[in-house]
Structure 1
Protein backbone atom coordinates (compact mmCIF):
# COMPACT_ATOMS: atom_id res chain seq x y z
CA UNK A 1 0.00 0.00 0.00
CA UNK A 2 0.98 3.65 -0.28
CA UNK A 3 1.77 5.77 2.76
CA UNK A 4 3.44 9.05 3.61
CA UNK A 5 6.59 8.15 5.57
CA UNK A 6 8.63 10.76 7.44
CA UNK A 7 12.23 9.56 7.63
CA UNK A 8 13.50 12.67 9.41
CA UNK A 9 11.66 15.65 10.83
CA UNK A 10 11.74 18.91 8.89
CA UNK A 11 9.79 21.01 6.42
CA UNK A 12 6.82 19.93 4.26
CA UNK A 13 9.28 18.35 1.82
CA UNK A 14 9.86 15.43 4.24
CA UNK A 15 6.30 14.22 3.57
CA UNK A 16 7.22 11.66 0.93
CA UNK A 17 5.07 8.90 -0.56
CA UNK A 18 6.39 5.34 -0.13
CA UNK A 19 5.29 1.79 -0.78
CA UNK A 20 5.00 -0.12 2.49
CA UNK A 21 3.63 -3.49 3.56
CA UNK A 22 -0.09 -3.78 4.22
CA UNK A 23 -0.77 -3.70 7.96
CA UNK A 24 -1.86 -6.83 9.84
CA UNK A 25 -4.06 -6.43 12.92
CA UNK A 26 -2.46 -7.42 16.19
CA UNK A 27 -4.43 -8.52 19.24
CA UNK A 28 -7.05 -5.90 20.05
CA UNK A 29 -6.59 -4.11 16.71
CA UNK A 30 -8.53 -3.62 13.51
CA UNK A 31 -7.18 -2.70 10.08
CA UNK A 32 -9.14 0.13 8.48
CA UNK A 33 -9.23 0.98 4.79
CA UNK A 34 -8.99 4.76 4.97
CA UNK A 35 -11.31 6.94 2.91
CA UNK A 36 -10.46 10.39 4.36
CA UNK A 37 -7.86 11.82 6.72
CA UNK A 38 -7.92 15.03 8.76
CA UNK A 39 -4.97 17.44 8.61
CA UNK A 40 -4.20 18.98 12.01
CA UNK A 41 -1.62 21.24 13.60
CA UNK A 42 -0.37 18.30 15.65
CA UNK A 43 0.68 16.74 12.33
CA UNK A 44 2.72 19.86 11.63
CA UNK A 45 4.29 19.82 15.10
CA UNK A 46 5.28 16.16 14.72
CA UNK A 47 6.59 16.65 11.19
CA UNK A 48 8.62 19.78 11.99
CA UNK A 49 10.24 18.54 15.20
CA UNK A 50 8.28 20.82 17.53
CA UNK A 51 7.12 17.53 19.07
CA UNK A 52 9.67 14.75 19.34
CA UNK A 53 8.67 11.60 17.45
CA UNK A 54 10.80 8.57 16.69
CA UNK A 55 11.50 8.25 12.95
CA UNK A 56 10.58 6.83 10.54
CA UNK A 57 6.85 7.19 11.09
CA UNK A 58 3.57 7.61 9.23
CA UNK A 59 1.95 10.89 10.35
CA UNK A 60 -1.70 11.70 10.80
CA UNK A 61 -3.85 11.06 13.86
CA UNK A 62 -7.40 11.26 12.48
CA UNK A 63 -9.23 9.31 9.80
CA UNK A 64 -12.36 7.44 8.81
CA UNK A 65 -12.95 4.34 6.73
CA UNK A 66 -14.12 0.74 6.69
CA UNK A 67 -12.91 -2.17 8.81
CA UNK A 68 -10.99 -4.60 6.57
CA UNK A 69 -9.84 -7.16 9.16
CA UNK A 70 -10.13 -7.80 12.87
CA UNK A 71 -7.45 -9.02 15.30
CA UNK A 72 -7.73 -11.49 18.14
CA UNK A 73 -9.79 -10.43 21.12
CA UNK A 74 -11.76 -7.74 19.32
CA UNK A 75 -15.47 -7.69 20.06
CA UNK A 76 -18.19 -5.37 18.87
CA UNK A 77 -16.53 -4.63 15.53
CA UNK A 78 -16.88 -6.49 12.25
CA UNK A 79 -15.45 -6.41 8.75
CA UNK A 80 -17.34 -3.85 6.69
CA UNK A 81 -18.23 -1.60 9.62
CA UNK A 82 -17.71 2.16 9.19
CA UNK A 83 -15.51 3.70 11.87
CA UNK A 84 -13.42 6.74 12.62
CA UNK A 85 -10.70 7.63 15.11
CA UNK A 86 -8.61 10.45 16.47
CA UNK A 87 -5.33 10.67 18.41
CA UNK A 88 -3.85 7.46 17.04
CA UNK A 89 -0.99 7.63 14.47
CA UNK A 90 -0.73 6.28 10.95
CA UNK A 91 -3.57 8.06 9.14
CA UNK A 92 -1.54 9.33 6.16
CA UNK A 93 -1.80 5.92 4.49
CA UNK A 94 -4.23 3.82 2.50
CA UNK A 95 -4.71 1.46 5.47
CA UNK A 96 -3.89 1.57 9.18
CA UNK A 97 -3.92 -0.82 12.11
CA UNK A 98 -5.75 0.90 14.97
CA UNK A 99 -6.58 -0.20 18.53
CA UNK A 100 -10.20 -1.28 18.35
CA UNK A 101 -11.07 0.50 21.59
CA UNK A 102 -9.96 3.82 20.10
CA UNK A 103 -12.32 3.63 17.13
CA UNK A 104 -15.86 4.98 17.16
CA UNK A 105 -18.80 3.81 15.02
CA UNK A 106 -20.12 6.22 12.41
CA UNK A 107 -23.90 6.67 12.45
CA UNK A 108 -25.95 6.54 9.29
CA UNK A 109 -25.96 9.90 7.57
CA UNK A 110 -22.43 10.86 8.64
CA UNK A 111 -20.02 10.38 5.75
CA UNK A 112 -16.34 9.52 5.85
CA UNK A 113 -15.29 13.08 5.00
CA UNK A 114 -17.54 14.55 7.69
CA UNK A 115 -16.16 12.14 10.28
CA UNK A 116 -12.53 12.74 9.33
CA UNK A 117 -13.17 16.48 9.42
CA UNK A 118 -14.89 16.58 12.80
CA UNK A 119 -13.57 13.91 15.14
CA UNK A 120 -10.36 15.43 16.50
CA UNK A 121 -11.42 19.07 16.41
CA UNK A 122 -15.02 18.29 17.30
CA UNK A 123 -14.11 16.17 20.32
CA UNK A 124 -11.75 18.98 21.33
CA UNK A 125 -14.53 21.56 20.98
CA UNK A 126 -16.86 19.28 22.94
CA UNK A 127 -14.60 18.80 25.96
CA UNK A 128 -13.70 22.49 26.00
CA UNK A 129 -17.32 23.67 26.03
CA UNK A 130 -18.78 20.83 28.09
CA UNK A 131 -16.02 20.03 30.60
CA UNK A 132 -13.01 22.40 30.74
CA UNK A 133 -15.41 25.30 31.10
CA UNK A 134 -18.95 23.93 30.92
CA UNK A 135 -20.68 26.76 29.09
CA UNK A 136 -23.89 27.93 30.70
CA UNK A 137 -26.74 29.93 29.21
CA UNK A 138 -25.85 33.61 29.47
CA UNK A 139 -22.07 33.14 29.49
CA UNK A 140 -19.98 35.33 27.21
CA UNK A 141 -16.96 33.49 25.83
CA UNK A 142 -14.06 34.43 23.56
CA UNK A 143 -12.98 32.12 20.74
CA UNK A 144 -9.67 32.88 19.07
CA UNK A 145 -9.24 31.91 15.40
CA UNK A 146 -13.00 31.56 15.25
CA UNK A 147 -13.00 30.73 11.52
CA UNK A 148 -10.54 27.84 11.87
CA UNK A 149 -11.65 24.24 11.99
CA UNK A 150 -11.78 24.07 15.79
CA UNK A 151 -12.95 27.65 16.22
CA UNK A 152 -16.03 27.14 14.04
CA UNK A 153 -16.99 24.07 16.06
CA UNK A 154 -16.39 25.72 19.45
CA UNK A 155 -18.52 28.65 18.34
CA UNK A 156 -21.41 26.42 17.30
CA UNK A 157 -21.29 24.25 20.43
CA UNK A 158 -21.09 27.30 22.71
CA UNK A 159 -24.10 28.81 20.96
CA UNK A 160 -26.05 25.55 21.35
CA UNK A 161 -25.41 25.83 25.10
CA UNK A 162 -26.76 29.39 25.21
CA UNK A 163 -23.56 31.45 25.22
CA UNK A 164 -22.80 34.80 23.66
CA UNK A 165 -19.70 34.30 21.52
CA UNK A 166 -17.03 36.85 20.65
CA UNK A 167 -14.65 35.62 17.96
CA UNK A 168 -11.32 36.87 16.69
CA UNK A 169 -10.32 36.49 13.04
CA UNK A 170 -7.78 37.97 10.64
CA UNK A 171 -9.72 38.70 7.43
CA UNK A 172 -13.09 39.86 6.21
CA UNK A 173 -13.85 36.44 4.74
CA UNK A 174 -13.07 34.75 8.06
CA UNK A 175 -15.30 37.26 9.84
CA UNK A 176 -18.16 36.22 7.57
CA UNK A 177 -17.59 32.55 8.33
CA UNK A 178 -17.43 33.14 12.08
CA UNK A 179 -20.70 35.06 11.99
CA UNK A 180 -22.34 32.32 9.92
CA UNK A 181 -21.29 29.85 12.64
CA UNK A 182 -23.13 31.98 15.19
CA UNK A 183 -20.54 34.42 16.56
CA UNK A 184 -22.39 37.41 18.02
CA UNK A 185 -19.43 39.76 17.70
CA UNK A 186 -16.21 39.46 15.74
CA UNK A 187 -12.93 41.33 16.25
CA UNK A 188 -10.26 41.58 13.57
CA UNK A 189 -7.11 40.95 15.57
CA UNK A 190 -4.90 41.95 12.66
CA UNK A 191 -5.76 45.50 13.69
CA UNK A 192 -4.15 44.91 17.09
CA UNK A 193 -0.75 43.57 16.01
CA UNK A 194 1.49 43.70 19.08
CA UNK A 195 -1.21 45.49 21.08
CA UNK A 196 -2.45 42.90 23.56
CA UNK A 197 -3.88 45.56 25.86
CA UNK A 198 -5.88 47.06 22.99
CA UNK A 199 -7.26 43.68 21.95
CA UNK A 200 -8.23 42.83 25.53
CA UNK A 201 -9.92 46.23 25.91
CA UNK A 202 -11.94 45.59 22.75
CA UNK A 203 -13.03 42.19 24.07
CA UNK A 204 -13.99 43.56 27.47
CA UNK A 205 -15.93 46.39 25.85
CA UNK A 206 -17.97 43.89 23.83
CA UNK A 207 -18.47 41.81 26.98
CA UNK A 208 -20.09 44.68 28.83
CA UNK A 209 -16.90 45.80 30.54
CA UNK A 210 -16.62 42.87 32.94
CA UNK A 211 -14.68 40.40 30.80
CA UNK A 212 -15.58 36.97 29.49
CA UNK A 213 -16.36 33.78 31.39
CA UNK A 214 -13.90 31.75 29.31
CA UNK A 215 -11.33 32.14 26.57
CA UNK A 216 -10.73 29.25 24.20
CA UNK A 217 -7.24 29.92 22.87
CA UNK A 218 -5.60 27.59 20.37
CA UNK A 219 -3.24 30.29 19.06
CA UNK A 220 -0.84 30.55 21.97
CA UNK A 221 2.03 33.02 22.12
CA UNK A 222 0.44 35.75 19.98
CA UNK A 223 -2.82 35.91 21.93
CA UNK A 224 -2.01 34.72 25.45
CA UNK A 225 -1.57 38.13 27.10
CA UNK A 226 -4.79 39.44 25.57
CA UNK A 227 -6.60 36.26 26.55
CA UNK A 228 -5.57 36.57 30.19
CA UNK A 229 -6.55 40.24 30.30
CA UNK A 230 -9.96 39.53 28.72
CA UNK A 231 -11.25 37.31 31.55
CA UNK A 232 -13.77 38.27 34.17
CA UNK A 233 -12.86 37.47 37.80
CA UNK A 234 -12.62 33.68 38.27
CA UNK A 235 -12.80 33.16 34.51
CA UNK A 236 -11.13 30.28 32.70
CA UNK A 237 -8.37 30.50 30.10
CA UNK A 238 -8.26 27.20 28.20
CA UNK A 239 -4.98 27.25 26.27
CA UNK A 240 -5.50 24.20 24.06
CA UNK A 241 -3.01 24.90 21.26
CA UNK A 242 -0.03 26.95 20.12
CA UNK A 243 -0.38 27.61 16.40
CA UNK A 244 1.61 30.87 16.78
CA UNK A 245 4.21 29.34 19.08
CA UNK A 246 4.54 28.17 22.68
CA UNK A 247 3.67 30.50 25.55
CA UNK A 248 6.68 31.37 27.75
CA UNK A 249 6.62 30.38 31.44
CA UNK A 250 3.94 32.25 33.42
CA UNK A 251 4.27 33.70 36.92
CA UNK A 252 1.29 32.31 38.88
CA UNK A 253 0.87 35.74 40.49
CA UNK A 254 -0.51 36.95 37.15
CA UNK A 255 -3.54 34.72 37.70
CA UNK A 256 -4.18 36.50 40.98
CA UNK A 257 -3.92 40.01 39.59
CA UNK A 258 -6.10 39.06 36.62
CA UNK A 259 -8.94 38.26 39.02
CA UNK A 260 -8.25 34.88 40.62
CA UNK A 261 -8.58 33.35 37.17
CA UNK A 262 -7.90 29.77 36.11
CA UNK A 263 -5.34 28.72 33.50
CA UNK A 264 -5.38 25.22 32.04
CA UNK A 265 -3.41 23.59 29.24
CA UNK A 266 -5.78 20.74 28.33
CA UNK A 267 -5.40 18.01 25.76
CA UNK A 268 -7.98 15.72 24.19
CA UNK A 269 -6.27 12.52 25.36
CA UNK A 270 -7.15 13.25 28.98
CA UNK A 271 -10.82 13.81 28.15
CA UNK A 272 -11.31 10.55 26.23
CA UNK A 273 -8.92 8.33 28.18
CA UNK A 274 -11.71 5.92 29.10
CA UNK A 275 -13.59 4.22 26.27
CA UNK A 276 -16.91 5.05 27.91
CA UNK A 277 -16.14 8.76 27.76
CA UNK A 278 -14.83 8.47 24.19
CA UNK A 279 -18.06 6.81 23.07
CA UNK A 280 -20.24 9.29 24.96
CA UNK A 281 -18.49 12.33 23.51
CA UNK A 282 -18.31 10.95 19.98
CA UNK A 283 -21.96 9.87 20.03
CA UNK A 284 -23.05 13.32 21.19
CA UNK A 285 -20.84 15.03 18.61
CA UNK A 286 -21.73 12.82 15.64
CA UNK A 287 -25.37 12.94 16.65
CA UNK A 288 -25.34 16.71 16.24
CA UNK A 289 -23.73 16.30 12.81
CA UNK A 290 -26.28 13.65 11.86
CA UNK A 291 -29.17 15.91 12.92
CA UNK A 292 -27.79 18.89 11.02
CA UNK A 293 -27.33 20.94 14.18
CA UNK A 294 -23.54 21.06 13.81
CA UNK A 295 -22.08 22.11 10.48
CA UNK A 296 -18.71 20.63 9.51
CA UNK A 297 -16.89 22.92 7.09
CA UNK A 298 -14.29 21.31 4.84
CA UNK A 299 -11.93 24.05 3.70
CA UNK A 300 -9.84 22.01 1.29
CA UNK A 301 -9.34 18.52 -0.12
CA UNK A 302 -5.93 17.26 -1.24
CA UNK A 303 -4.74 13.96 -2.68
CA UNK A 304 -2.69 11.97 -0.20
CA UNK A 305 0.44 12.63 -2.26
CA UNK A 306 -0.07 16.40 -1.76
CA UNK A 307 0.19 16.27 2.03
CA UNK A 308 3.08 18.74 1.92
CA UNK A 309 0.96 21.35 0.15
CA UNK A 310 -1.81 20.85 2.70
CA UNK A 311 0.70 21.52 5.51
CA UNK A 312 1.95 24.64 3.76
CA UNK A 313 -1.56 26.01 3.32
CA UNK A 314 -2.50 25.23 6.92
CA UNK A 315 0.52 26.92 8.48
CA UNK A 316 0.27 29.93 6.15
CA UNK A 317 -3.36 30.41 7.29
CA UNK A 318 -4.54 30.39 3.69
CA UNK A 319 -7.49 28.19 4.59
CA UNK A 320 -10.65 28.08 6.69
CA UNK A 321 -12.40 25.10 8.18
CA UNK A 322 -10.85 21.65 8.04
CA UNK A 323 -8.37 20.28 5.48
CA UNK A 324 -8.63 16.67 4.31
CA UNK A 325 -6.40 14.22 2.53
CA UNK A 326 -8.61 12.05 0.31
Structure 2
Protein backbone atom coordinates (compact mmCIF):
# COMPACT_ATOMS: atom_id res chain seq x y z
CA UNK A 1 0.00 0.00 0.00
CA UNK A 2 1.38 3.40 -0.99
CA UNK A 3 1.99 5.71 2.00
CA UNK A 4 -0.04 8.93 1.94
CA UNK A 5 0.95 12.50 1.23
CA UNK A 6 1.16 13.98 4.71
CA UNK A 7 -0.28 17.44 5.42
CA UNK A 8 0.81 18.85 8.77
CA UNK A 9 -1.04 21.78 10.34
CA UNK A 10 -2.48 22.93 13.65
CA UNK A 11 -4.97 25.56 14.95
CA UNK A 12 -2.13 27.18 16.90
CA UNK A 13 -0.75 28.54 13.63
CA UNK A 14 -3.86 30.72 13.38
CA UNK A 15 -3.08 32.35 16.73
CA UNK A 16 0.07 34.10 15.48
CA UNK A 17 -1.34 37.63 15.02
CA UNK A 18 1.24 40.12 13.71
CA UNK A 19 -1.36 42.90 13.44
CA UNK A 20 -4.65 43.76 11.79
CA UNK A 21 -3.10 45.28 8.65
CA UNK A 22 -0.18 42.86 8.43
CA UNK A 23 -0.10 40.83 5.19
CA UNK A 24 1.09 37.66 6.96
CA UNK A 25 -2.31 37.17 8.57
CA UNK A 26 -4.14 34.09 9.87
CA UNK A 27 -6.50 34.48 6.91
CA UNK A 28 -3.74 33.02 4.71
CA UNK A 29 -3.85 29.61 6.35
CA UNK A 30 -7.62 29.75 6.80
CA UNK A 31 -8.03 30.21 3.05
CA UNK A 32 -5.83 27.18 2.34
CA UNK A 33 -7.71 24.99 4.80
CA UNK A 34 -11.06 26.19 3.46
CA UNK A 35 -10.17 25.17 -0.10
CA UNK A 36 -8.90 21.79 1.10
CA UNK A 37 -12.14 21.24 3.02
CA UNK A 38 -14.20 22.01 -0.09
CA UNK A 39 -11.93 20.08 -2.47
CA UNK A 40 -10.16 17.32 -0.54
CA UNK A 41 -7.33 15.60 -2.38
CA UNK A 42 -7.42 11.80 -2.47
CA UNK A 43 -4.28 10.15 -1.12
CA UNK A 44 -3.59 12.80 1.53
CA UNK A 45 -3.63 12.48 5.28
CA UNK A 46 -3.74 15.37 7.75
CA UNK A 47 -1.52 15.10 10.79
CA UNK A 48 -0.87 17.20 13.88
CA UNK A 49 2.73 18.35 14.29
CA UNK A 50 4.89 18.43 17.38
CA UNK A 51 6.98 21.32 18.64
CA UNK A 52 10.68 21.53 17.88
CA UNK A 53 13.07 20.59 20.64
CA UNK A 54 15.72 22.94 21.97
CA UNK A 55 18.36 20.81 20.24
CA UNK A 56 16.55 21.15 16.91
CA UNK A 57 16.32 24.93 17.23
CA UNK A 58 19.96 25.07 18.29
CA UNK A 59 21.04 23.21 15.15
CA UNK A 60 20.55 26.51 13.25
CA UNK A 61 20.03 29.37 15.69
CA UNK A 62 22.34 31.03 18.19
CA UNK A 63 21.74 30.89 21.96
CA UNK A 64 21.25 34.66 21.95
CA UNK A 65 18.41 34.56 19.42
CA UNK A 66 16.74 31.60 21.11
CA UNK A 67 16.86 33.37 24.49
CA UNK A 68 15.57 36.61 22.99
CA UNK A 69 12.60 34.96 21.27
CA UNK A 70 11.76 32.88 24.34
CA UNK A 71 11.62 36.14 26.28
CA UNK A 72 8.85 37.32 23.93
CA UNK A 73 6.60 34.33 24.72
CA UNK A 74 3.21 35.54 25.90
CA UNK A 75 3.97 39.13 24.90
CA UNK A 76 3.23 41.48 22.01
CA UNK A 77 6.45 42.92 20.60
CA UNK A 78 7.91 44.50 17.49
CA UNK A 79 11.21 42.98 16.37
CA UNK A 80 11.33 45.21 13.32
CA UNK A 81 8.64 47.02 11.30
CA UNK A 82 7.92 43.79 9.36
CA UNK A 83 8.24 41.27 12.17
CA UNK A 84 5.79 41.48 15.03
CA UNK A 85 4.99 38.99 17.75
CA UNK A 86 1.73 38.37 19.56
CA UNK A 87 1.28 36.37 22.77
CA UNK A 88 1.03 33.03 20.89
CA UNK A 89 3.74 33.73 18.30
CA UNK A 90 6.61 32.00 20.08
CA UNK A 91 4.68 28.76 20.55
CA UNK A 92 3.46 28.87 16.94
CA UNK A 93 6.99 29.45 15.64
CA UNK A 94 8.39 26.53 17.67
CA UNK A 95 5.54 24.34 16.41
CA UNK A 96 6.20 25.42 12.80
CA UNK A 97 9.84 24.40 13.16
CA UNK A 98 8.76 21.11 14.71
CA UNK A 99 6.34 20.47 11.85
CA UNK A 100 9.24 20.90 9.42
CA UNK A 101 11.31 18.34 11.31
CA UNK A 102 8.39 15.94 11.67
CA UNK A 103 7.67 16.13 7.93
CA UNK A 104 11.27 15.14 7.25
CA UNK A 105 11.12 12.28 9.76
CA UNK A 106 7.89 10.89 8.32
CA UNK A 107 9.14 11.03 4.74
CA UNK A 108 12.60 9.63 5.47
CA UNK A 109 11.10 6.77 7.48
CA UNK A 110 8.77 5.85 4.61
CA UNK A 111 5.62 6.46 6.68
CA UNK A 112 4.69 9.23 4.22
CA UNK A 113 5.37 9.37 0.49
CA UNK A 114 5.97 13.11 0.71
CA UNK A 115 4.71 15.96 2.85
CA UNK A 116 3.58 19.58 2.97
CA UNK A 117 3.89 21.48 6.27
CA UNK A 118 1.12 24.10 6.20
CA UNK A 119 2.61 26.36 8.84
CA UNK A 120 3.02 29.93 9.92
CA UNK A 121 4.94 31.99 10.75
CA UNK A 122 7.19 31.40 7.73
CA UNK A 123 10.93 30.97 8.16
CA UNK A 124 13.33 31.53 5.28
CA UNK A 125 14.38 35.09 6.22
CA UNK A 126 15.36 34.09 9.77
CA UNK A 127 19.15 34.08 10.00
CA UNK A 128 21.05 32.05 12.58
CA UNK A 129 21.22 35.07 14.88
CA UNK A 130 18.38 37.28 13.71
CA UNK A 131 14.59 37.14 13.27
CA UNK A 132 13.36 39.29 10.38
CA UNK A 133 11.03 39.50 7.38
CA UNK A 134 7.94 37.97 9.07
CA UNK A 135 10.18 35.04 10.20
CA UNK A 136 11.31 33.89 13.65
CA UNK A 137 12.93 30.45 13.27
CA UNK A 138 14.16 29.14 9.91
CA UNK A 139 11.91 26.14 9.37
CA UNK A 140 13.56 24.81 6.22
CA UNK A 141 17.10 25.13 7.59
CA UNK A 142 16.05 23.30 10.76
CA UNK A 143 14.46 20.63 8.56
CA UNK A 144 17.67 20.26 6.52
CA UNK A 145 19.71 19.79 9.68
CA UNK A 146 17.24 17.15 10.86
CA UNK A 147 17.61 15.34 7.55
CA UNK A 148 21.38 15.32 7.96
CA UNK A 149 21.02 13.82 11.45
CA UNK A 150 18.72 11.14 10.03
CA UNK A 151 21.27 10.01 7.49
CA UNK A 152 20.82 12.19 4.40
CA UNK A 153 24.34 13.00 3.24
CA UNK A 154 23.15 15.58 0.68
CA UNK A 155 20.05 17.76 1.01
CA UNK A 156 18.64 20.04 -1.68
CA UNK A 157 16.74 23.15 -0.59
CA UNK A 158 14.81 24.87 -3.40
CA UNK A 159 13.28 28.27 -2.60
CA UNK A 160 10.69 29.66 -5.05
CA UNK A 161 9.35 32.44 -2.79
CA UNK A 162 9.35 35.86 -4.46
CA UNK A 163 11.84 37.06 -1.82
CA UNK A 164 15.35 35.67 -1.51
CA UNK A 165 15.82 33.37 1.48
CA UNK A 166 18.73 35.21 3.04
CA UNK A 167 18.45 33.23 6.27
CA UNK A 168 18.67 29.86 4.58
CA UNK A 169 21.60 31.05 2.46
CA UNK A 170 23.40 32.27 5.58
CA UNK A 171 22.87 28.95 7.38
CA UNK A 172 24.59 26.92 4.64
CA UNK A 173 26.91 29.52 3.08
CA UNK A 174 30.04 27.53 3.90
CA UNK A 175 28.57 24.03 3.47
CA UNK A 176 28.51 21.60 0.56
CA UNK A 177 26.19 19.01 2.10
CA UNK A 178 23.18 21.31 1.64
CA UNK A 179 22.65 22.77 -1.83
CA UNK A 180 20.59 25.98 -1.74
CA UNK A 181 18.80 27.03 -4.93
CA UNK A 182 16.72 30.21 -5.04
CA UNK A 183 14.67 31.93 -7.73
CA UNK A 184 13.39 35.30 -6.58
CA UNK A 185 12.57 38.80 -7.72
CA UNK A 186 15.71 40.91 -7.85
CA UNK A 187 16.49 43.55 -6.81
CA UNK A 188 13.91 43.29 -4.06
CA UNK A 189 13.65 42.67 -0.33
CA UNK A 190 15.91 41.67 1.43
CA UNK A 191 18.52 42.78 -1.13
CA UNK A 192 20.51 39.53 -1.21
CA UNK A 193 20.54 36.81 -3.85
CA UNK A 194 22.74 38.23 -6.62
CA UNK A 195 24.12 35.67 -9.10
CA UNK A 196 27.69 36.08 -7.81
CA UNK A 197 26.60 34.93 -4.33
CA UNK A 198 27.72 31.30 -4.66
CA UNK A 199 29.04 30.45 -1.19
CA UNK A 200 32.53 30.46 0.29
CA UNK A 201 35.09 27.94 1.47
CA UNK A 202 33.83 24.38 1.34
CA UNK A 203 30.46 25.76 0.25
CA UNK A 204 31.71 27.63 -2.80
CA UNK A 205 29.44 26.76 -5.72
CA UNK A 206 26.72 25.25 -3.53
CA UNK A 207 24.57 28.38 -3.33
CA UNK A 208 22.60 28.88 -6.55
CA UNK A 209 20.87 32.23 -7.04
CA UNK A 210 18.82 33.43 -9.98
CA UNK A 211 17.28 36.82 -9.41
CA UNK A 212 14.63 37.48 -12.05
CA UNK A 213 13.19 40.89 -12.88
CA UNK A 214 9.57 41.60 -12.03
CA UNK A 215 7.07 40.32 -14.57
CA UNK A 216 8.60 36.85 -15.02
CA UNK A 217 6.12 34.29 -16.35
CA UNK A 218 5.48 30.56 -16.08
CA UNK A 219 7.59 30.10 -19.23
CA UNK A 220 10.47 32.09 -17.72
CA UNK A 221 10.45 29.92 -14.61
CA UNK A 222 10.28 26.82 -16.80
CA UNK A 223 13.42 27.85 -18.68
CA UNK A 224 15.19 28.50 -15.39
CA UNK A 225 14.36 25.05 -14.07
CA UNK A 226 15.43 23.30 -17.26
CA UNK A 227 18.64 25.24 -17.82
CA UNK A 228 19.89 25.86 -14.27
CA UNK A 229 18.19 24.23 -11.31
CA UNK A 230 17.54 20.72 -12.63
CA UNK A 231 20.98 20.09 -14.23
CA UNK A 232 22.73 21.15 -11.02
CA UNK A 233 20.34 19.19 -8.81
CA UNK A 234 20.85 16.09 -10.95
CA UNK A 235 24.62 16.42 -10.58
CA UNK A 236 24.31 17.00 -6.82
CA UNK A 237 22.17 13.86 -6.38
CA UNK A 238 20.30 14.80 -3.19
CA UNK A 239 18.92 12.24 -0.79
CA UNK A 240 16.07 14.55 0.25
CA UNK A 241 14.46 17.54 -1.47
CA UNK A 242 13.04 20.41 0.60
CA UNK A 243 11.07 23.28 -0.91
CA UNK A 244 10.59 26.69 0.65
CA UNK A 245 7.20 27.06 -1.00
CA UNK A 246 6.28 30.72 -1.10
CA UNK A 247 3.33 31.64 -3.31
CA UNK A 248 3.94 35.39 -3.55
CA UNK A 249 5.24 35.10 -7.15
CA UNK A 250 1.57 34.56 -8.06
CA UNK A 251 0.26 37.00 -10.66
CA UNK A 252 -2.37 38.36 -8.24
CA UNK A 253 -0.11 38.77 -5.22
CA UNK A 254 -0.24 42.30 -3.76
CA UNK A 255 3.40 42.23 -2.62
CA UNK A 256 5.26 40.42 -5.40
CA UNK A 257 5.70 41.51 -8.98
CA UNK A 258 5.77 38.17 -10.79
CA UNK A 259 3.20 36.57 -13.10
CA UNK A 260 3.07 32.91 -12.09
CA UNK A 261 -0.20 31.00 -12.32
CA UNK A 262 -1.48 28.11 -10.21
CA UNK A 263 -0.35 25.73 -12.94
CA UNK A 264 3.11 27.33 -12.91
CA UNK A 265 3.47 26.45 -9.23
CA UNK A 266 2.16 22.96 -9.94
CA UNK A 267 4.75 22.61 -12.72
CA UNK A 268 7.57 23.61 -10.36
CA UNK A 269 6.29 21.13 -7.79
CA UNK A 270 5.98 18.44 -10.47
CA UNK A 271 9.57 19.06 -11.58
CA UNK A 272 10.82 18.63 -8.02
CA UNK A 273 8.69 15.53 -7.49
CA UNK A 274 10.08 13.95 -10.66
CA UNK A 275 13.60 14.82 -9.47
CA UNK A 276 12.94 13.28 -6.06
CA UNK A 277 11.36 10.19 -7.62
CA UNK A 278 14.42 9.76 -9.84
CA UNK A 279 17.16 10.40 -7.30
CA UNK A 280 15.97 9.84 -3.75
CA UNK A 281 13.00 7.50 -3.57
CA UNK A 282 10.47 10.33 -3.82
CA UNK A 283 11.58 11.99 -0.58
CA UNK A 284 10.13 15.49 -0.98
CA UNK A 285 8.91 17.97 1.65
CA UNK A 286 7.28 21.35 1.02
CA UNK A 287 7.16 24.03 3.71
CA UNK A 288 4.83 27.01 3.44
CA UNK A 289 6.54 30.41 3.20
CA UNK A 290 4.90 33.56 1.74
CA UNK A 291 1.88 34.26 -0.45
CA UNK A 292 -0.55 37.11 0.21
CA UNK A 293 -3.31 36.84 -2.41
CA UNK A 294 -5.72 34.61 -0.55
CA UNK A 295 -7.18 33.12 -3.71
CA UNK A 296 -3.83 32.79 -5.47
CA UNK A 297 -2.25 31.24 -2.39
CA UNK A 298 -5.00 28.74 -1.62
CA UNK A 299 -5.49 27.62 -5.22
CA UNK A 300 -1.74 27.27 -5.81
CA UNK A 301 -1.21 25.29 -2.60
CA UNK A 302 -4.09 23.01 -3.61
CA UNK A 303 -2.53 22.51 -7.06
CA UNK A 304 0.79 21.53 -5.48
CA UNK A 305 -0.91 19.09 -3.11
CA UNK A 306 -2.57 17.46 -6.12
CA UNK A 307 0.91 17.02 -7.61
CA UNK A 308 2.26 15.50 -4.39
CA UNK A 309 -0.67 13.05 -4.48
CA UNK A 310 0.08 11.96 -8.03
CA UNK A 311 -0.94 14.55 -10.62
CA UNK A 312 1.70 15.58 -13.16
CA UNK A 313 2.00 19.09 -14.54
CA UNK A 314 4.33 20.70 -17.05
CA UNK A 315 5.22 24.34 -17.54
CA UNK A 316 2.80 26.18 -19.83
CA UNK A 317 4.32 26.98 -23.18
CA UNK A 318 4.96 30.58 -24.12
CA UNK A 319 7.58 33.15 -24.99
CA UNK A 320 10.37 33.76 -22.53
CA UNK A 321 11.34 37.36 -21.82
CA UNK A 322 14.72 38.74 -22.81
CA UNK A 323 15.23 40.23 -19.32
CA UNK A 324 14.59 36.88 -17.63
CA UNK A 325 16.90 35.08 -20.05
CA UNK A 326 19.62 37.66 -19.35
CA UNK A 327 19.28 37.00 -15.62
CA UNK A 328 19.46 33.25 -16.26
CA UNK A 329 22.60 33.72 -18.35
CA UNK A 330 24.28 35.67 -15.54
CA UNK A 331 23.58 32.87 -13.07
CA UNK A 332 24.80 30.17 -15.44
CA UNK A 333 28.00 32.12 -16.04
CA UNK A 334 28.64 32.54 -12.31
CA UNK A 335 28.07 28.83 -11.63
CA UNK A 336 29.65 27.20 -14.68
CA UNK A 337 33.08 26.89 -13.00
CA UNK A 338 31.53 24.65 -10.34
CA UNK A 339 29.02 22.61 -12.36
CA UNK A 340 30.19 21.02 -15.64
CA UNK A 341 26.56 20.17 -16.45
CA UNK A 342 26.10 23.87 -17.30
* TM-score normalised to structure 1 length: 0.40
Structure with higher strand content:
1
Structure with higher helix content:
2
* TM-score normalised to structure 2 length: 0.38
